[in-house]
Structure 1
Amino acid sequence: MEILNVGLGKNSYDILIGENFFEKFPECIGNVYDGKKLFVITDSNVDKIYKNEYGKMFKGFDYTIYVLEAGEKHKHIGIMPAIYSGMVKAGLTRKDMVVAFGGGVVGDIAGFAAASYMRGIDFVQIPTTIISQVDSSVGGKVGVDLPEGKNLVGAFHQPKLVLIDNYFLNTLTNRYFYDGFAEIVKYGCIYDKNFFEKLENIVKLSGLSETDKNYKENLRKHLMEHINGLVYRSCEIKKEVVEKDEKESNLRMILNFGHTIGHAIEQFTNYEKYSHGEAISAGMVDITKIGEKKGFTKEGEAVKIAKLLKALNLPTEIEYPKDEIAKIMKRDKKSTSDGINFVILKEIGEVEIMKIGAEEIFE
């Protein structure tokens, strides 16, 4: 097991990364919480697979399991009253703790419930997908969607602990296994060229061809041999960025690379056609192509990024009506009266935040 500490003064916490240590969760949680009551929020997919493990994961605690319907389309503000009622019925007080056990949607909802219930109670993140392990479980951004846009209601509420056990990745479908690699590629693009090249080399060293019949399965096995290191470095990069800018006033914006277009694609397709990672994958390629066209980005970077994402079974081109996407982007949290803060790649490993109009970006 490896430990990263997110140093945020009184809001500091540890990220524990390992494999098959879920039976030690009670001890880990007990190190940051001296109470007995846990309100565990999960979703229907995770609950179906792991409900027989709850007794081991939360041994010694008085725990309540609250199950959400799985999927981003259920991450809307309308579900919150029922969750709050569940917390009241469970007798949850200000001194008790929420546990988010699931992917990014569960983490966002559970974190927002913890941030807002009784004006804020503590919570722990137990992410079960790659995308939630390397991204949404770290940094304290929590929230829900409105019909008008993604994550428009939320808070900054840091967890007390993040428990990353790669045991949970074994039950992911191939689609959602590869989904998380969009965020891993993002960290290389925005912060660490060597990390990007390391991921390229890991894929190359698999010796597999994308035309192979069992390419997805065999590459997955190969990637799992390296997953702890990839997750560790991704979390380390996010931790470094969050430590410098917890509330996203400047530097932390770089974590949104590809996300402005990607979030708009998700919303335009009603969160049903593309997963988060798939939309972000196409968003990163698109914004890099736009950067090259406008002379902001070193030529050829979009091709390199697309090649790696394609090898990781992610889409690099998604057709969408630019006028509709522009309208949605105008409602993005990063939008202001004089434009949107887009994260533009200068070259792999280096980005710049530029304020550009929603329509202007596609010109």
Structure 2
Amino acid sequence: MSNAPAHALDTRALNRATLARQLLLEPSDVPVHDAVRLLGGLQAQEPQEPFVALFSRLRSFAPATLSDLLVERRLVRTHLMRRTVHLVTADDALAWRARHEPMLRQRVLATYRDELRGADLEQLAADGRELMSDGEPRTMSELVREVTGSRPAPHPRALGELLVPALVPVAQIPPRGLWRTKAGVRNVLLTSWLGRPIDPADPTGTDGGDPVGRALVLRYLAAFGPAATADLRAWSGLAGLPAAVAGARDELVSFRDERGRELLDLPDAPRPDPDTPAPVRFLPAFDNALLGYQDRRRIVDDAHRGLSVAGERVVLLDGRVAATWTTEGGTVTVTPLRRFSRADRTAVGEAGRSMAGFLSDGEHHRTRVLASPR
């Protein structure tokens, strides 16, 4: 990486870079599988939200294609970044799982420290994996009952969240996550479902570096850069990435944001002109375009930062969060967060009708844009 002074990027420049990486600047023609990989996975604890995410990003998105990829096991629903359910490619699930496992354990233990005091983690992990090795789908509560047997589980919820997914790598299998399908969570071992072993956290183990983490850094920057190391931690939930970042620096370029933070990026990744027009986009709940950063001001004002973690669906206007939206009975209702001009209302209304049509599948649909706040 060059020792020249880092070029400064203002908030609007970072916004356009984010939109470009997240396929939100213009509709993409990439296949669904490739889009999920390019985006570094999709947040998916709400099972239908990945369909909304891809409809807003791909030019001709057919929901059945995503469902088919889940059934074919080329995409998988599993706990990874930030201990949340993500929809990722099978390759990424196997490549990233071991690198995330210590974080998955630590987050459960931090939440249930008292309830799980004295628990034998390795024995629980061994028991859970042995039970799941028969390939039979299980709910979390079923796994807890079988692991504990006749012994009472003093804190079944805590034990369940420790086993799934912190100690036992699992996939949430269809029909959960299929288009317009309501189904509970049933888990199978990730390796059984995908028919391949999980990659080791450090394939070499010889140079003291972090090759898996380094690959993760490069993938993150491709989908979210330019970004600070704090942004990388916010997206992944991983704290121990200094060796990974250090190992990747020779392949990166450096910038500064308006606060003076160092931002890292891939040299040839898109950084569009800040004046590039940005169309209206309707985003799903918990979209990683917002949650993928510690400093989210490139896309949302501080006053509305909490919307992204509260599960609100949001509308991007000129690339920034400008409204929330809900849907019921074929009607998309938009609630502005700031004043809309007449042109804004028209653009949001048109995009909303498109989303309403997608969600209602040809049934009567419309958009209702509420009055702007005074």
TM-score (norm. length: structure 2): 0.25
Higher relative contact order (CA 8 A, sep 6+): 2
Quick check: which has more Rg, 1 or 2? 2
TM-score (norm. length: structure 1): 0.25
If each structure's strand is expressed as a fraction of its own residues, which one has the higher value?
Answer: 1
